């Protein structure tokens, strides 16, 4: 005898999942708007009829927009749906905590310094952390105190959008400082317009791209 006669037991077990997410015969609305497996709008119908359509193709009926009038349901594989949602959440979290690096020198010109600050502010405004790296070369190593002055100046210039995770630190031949963005509602832009488009690549990524182009030219 089949384990789940007429597939009924199978679909009852598949009703279990994250709290608050209704599917299959747990959907309470009297009518729902149904989106098919390929994204086609199948119209408004009672949830029982929609569930029958889902069962015919071996899929689930998932309520994806309970606040809509009528609620919107999709015919999908529930396991695949959970996997895709989890993947999206992980990607969003990784993007929000990505560390961007801005590199500069002690003797950087005022215009170039402002450009670096503008790019750092753009990263911070998009939720990224920023690592400020000031590099010493040659005789600049004899005046490392000036490096700390420059990094602290950058920190002060970005105070409207970020806080420092710690004080600037000397690491080898460079001074490093990591900035974390303020909560979105407390950010004040100084170098960018709110709608300004920015280059998502940090200095390390730009240098890598330039090196690849140089290799292509040489070959």
Q: What pLDDT score does 155 carry?
A: 98
* Strands of the 32-35 sheet, one edge to the other: 41-45, 32-35, 72-76, 60-65
Q: List all residues 6 or more positions away from 105 whose beta carbon is below 8 Å from its beta carbon.
A: 134, 135, 137, 140
Quote the CA–CA distance of 177 and 48 in Å, as a whole number: 59
Whether the full predicted model's pTM is greater than 0.75, yes or no, is: no
Name residues of the chain where pLDDT drops below 50.
Answer: 1-16, 209-219
How many angstroms separate the Cα of 43 from the Cα of each of 21, 35, 55, 76, 182?
21, 8, 17, 16, 45
HEC readout, 9-42: HHHHHCCCCCCCCCEHHHCCCCCEEEECCCCCEE
Class of domain 95-218: alpha beta
Q: List all residues 6 or more positions away from 71 whose beta carbon is below 8 Å from its beta carbon.
A: 27, 29, 32, 33, 63, 65
Q: What pLDDT score does 31 carry?
A: 97
Domain boundaries, the chain: 5-78, 95-218
Q: What pLDDT score does 179 carry?
A: 97
Q: What pLDDT score does 95 carry?
A: 62
Q: What pLDDT score does 216 carry?
A: 45
Neighbours of 111 (CB within 10 A): 8
CATH of 5-78, one of 3.10.20.80, 1.25.60.10, 3.30.70.1140, 3.40.50.300: 3.10.20.80
Q: What pLDDT score does 98 carry?
A: 81
Q: List all residues 6 or more positions away from 149 whose beta carbon is below 8 Å from its beta carbon.
A: none
């Amino acid at each position: 005898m089949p384990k789940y006669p007429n597939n009924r037991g199978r679909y009852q077990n598949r009703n279990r999942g994250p709290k608050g997410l209704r599917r299959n015969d747990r959907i309470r609305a009297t009518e729902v708007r149904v989106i098919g497996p390929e994204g086609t709008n199948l119209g408004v119908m009672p949830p029982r009829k929609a569930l029958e359509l889902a069962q015919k193709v071996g899929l689930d009926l998932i309520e994806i927009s309970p606040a809509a009038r009528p609620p919107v349901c999709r015919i999908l594989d529930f396991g695949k749906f959970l996997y895709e949602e989890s993947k999206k959440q992980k990607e969003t979290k990784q993007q929000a905590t990505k560390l961007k690096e801005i590199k500069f020198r002690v003797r950087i010109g005022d215009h170039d310094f402002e450009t670096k600050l503008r790019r750092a502010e753009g990263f911070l405004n998009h939720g990224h952390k920023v690592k400020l790296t000031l590099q010493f070369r040659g005789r600049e190593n004899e005046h490392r105190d000036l490096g700390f002055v420059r990094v602290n100046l950058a920190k002060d210039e970005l105070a409207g959008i970020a806080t420092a995770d710690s004080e600037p630190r000397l690491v080898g031949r460079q001074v490093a400082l990591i900035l974390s963005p303020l909560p979105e509602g407390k950010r004040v832009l100084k170098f960018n317009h709110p709608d300004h488009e920015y280059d998502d690549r940090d200095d390390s990524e730009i240098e890598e791209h330039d090196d690849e182009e140089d290799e292509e030219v040489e070959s």
